[in-house]
Amino acid sequence: MKCPSCGHEDSKVVDSRVTDAGTAIRRRRECPKCEFRFTTFERSQTANLMVEKKGGIFEPYDREKLEKGILTACGKRPVSIEKIRECLSELEERWGRDKVVSSKKIGEDVIEMLREIDEVAFIRFASVYKQFKDMETFKAELSKFFNTKQ
């Protein structure tokens, strides 16, 4: 693996651990040239999972893109990245049973996941995903959430 600091073509693994509920391996690496340490993750690829977008367009599933959106929603919240990755791996297992998953299904599943993890992150993600047109729509969606929790 190429060193992200100096670009040296080689690195050695100093530590390996199973992570994300057994769905990934975290490797701690060190560059023999500059001694820079970095972490890599090895996980099985969600083989050929395609996402059907709203307009009927298909694109390959991109975990990093989805994880980035979730992490943005969880910004400055007491939510561990390990918990997010674990839950995301569980969702991917469900979606991976089919060759195609709709973006609507992904969005709804992530909203439900965040609802259980952190209310603020849930509201942030839902507000972007559902593209509320005005404050009244936003309030109506929030009232649904708080009424179902009681």
Boundaries of domain holding 139: 46-149
* pLDDT score for 150: 45
- Based on the domain organization, do 59 and 39 belong to the same domain? no
- Based on the domain organization, do 35 and 109 belong to the same domain? no
Q: Number of folded domains in the chain? A: 2
pLDDT over 70, % of the chain: 93
How many Å is the Cα radius of gyration of the chain?
A: 19
- Based on the domain organization, do 24 and 35 belong to the same domain? yes
Ranges of the chain whose pLDDT falls below 50: 150
- Based on the domain organization, do 28 and 84 belong to the same domain? no
* pLDDT score for 46: 56
Cα gap 121→18, rounded to integer Å = 27
* pLDDT score for 4: 93
- Based on the domain organization, do 131 and 83 belong to the same domain? yes
* pLDDT score for 148: 57
- Based on the domain organization, do 40 and 63 belong to the same domain? no
Question: Which contacts (CB < 8 Å, 24+ apart) does range 90-98 have?
Answer: 90/21, 92/46, 92/49, 92/63, 93/23, 95/46, 95/49, 95/61, 96/46, 96/47, 96/49
CA atoms within 13 A on the CB side of 104: 4
- Based on the domain organization, do 139 and 81 belong to the same domain? yes
CA atoms within 13 A on the CB side of 80: 5
Interval 4-36: pLDDT, tens: 999 999 999 999 998 877 777 889 999 999 999
- Based on the domain organization, do 55 and 109 belong to the same domain? yes
Q: Taking the model in full, what pTM does it have?
A: 0.69
Q: Point out the domain boundary residue: 44, 62, 79.
A: 44
- Based on the domain organization, do 98 and 139 belong to the same domain? yes
- Based on the domain organization, do 53 and 108 belong to the same domain? yes
Q: Which residues contact 95 (CB under 8 A, 6 or more apart)?
A: 46, 49, 61, 101, 105, 106, 109
- Based on the domain organization, do 79 and 142 belong to the same domain? yes
* pLDDT score for 143: 79
- Based on the domain organization, do 66 and 2 belong to the same domain? no
